[in-house]
A and B are shown apart, each in its own frame.
Chain A
Amino acid sequence: AQSVTQLGSHVSVSEGALVLLRCNYSSSVPPYLFWYVQYPNQGLQLLLKYTTGATLVKGINGFEAEFKKSETSFHLTKPSAHMSDAAEYFCAVTPYGGSQGNLIFGKGTKLSVKP
């Protein structure tokens, strides 16, 4: 069975500092991988996704993530945090060729940005 582990339910960084949100997955087949962001009182929106091809994926708002098969990881990074990045971030995985019915979300990491 698939699973997604997001290390750290809360991460706090200073404005301008590096953001690193960790995601590890378990999947018996190659995965599709996603990061979604949820701002207060809103639904989730896609930050970036990996399906096939280049393992370094760039998303919106300066975020990027790298698929590392050997480490079964898909960590999310941003070089310089902005106050507007404060939100909750969700990693999700589904098997290659699978359906949305197989999509599994992590528990989420709440990012706080200090001035």
Chain B
Amino acid sequence: GNSVTQMEGPVTLSEEAFLTINCTYTATGYPSLFWYVQYPGEGLQLLLKATKADDKGSNKGFEATYRKETTSFHLEKGSVQVSDSAVYFCALSDLRFFSGGYNKLIFGAGTRLAVHP
């Protein structure tokens, strides 16, 4: 079945360091891929998405490229800030459900990022 695998955390970085959070997926067809962010005690916010191979999603300095050949969607940021400390979830949309109007998202386990001054 469809699945998403993220690198285990926590990831601990100093401010202004480069960030990479790895995400790989298993899916049939061509799912859309997402990164969501969850700040402490809050719900999930959509960070970025990509809907087809070679698409690059970007937002707030974060980027991720849909790589079908390596089934990956790694999240990157060139210079992290303390305010980026959160849990990051990679997800894909399960197209087996999509045609019926439902959109089932398959989530990875999440990667906690801690950025220190």
Is chain B a partner of chain A in the same complex?
no
A interface, CB within 8 angstroms of B: none
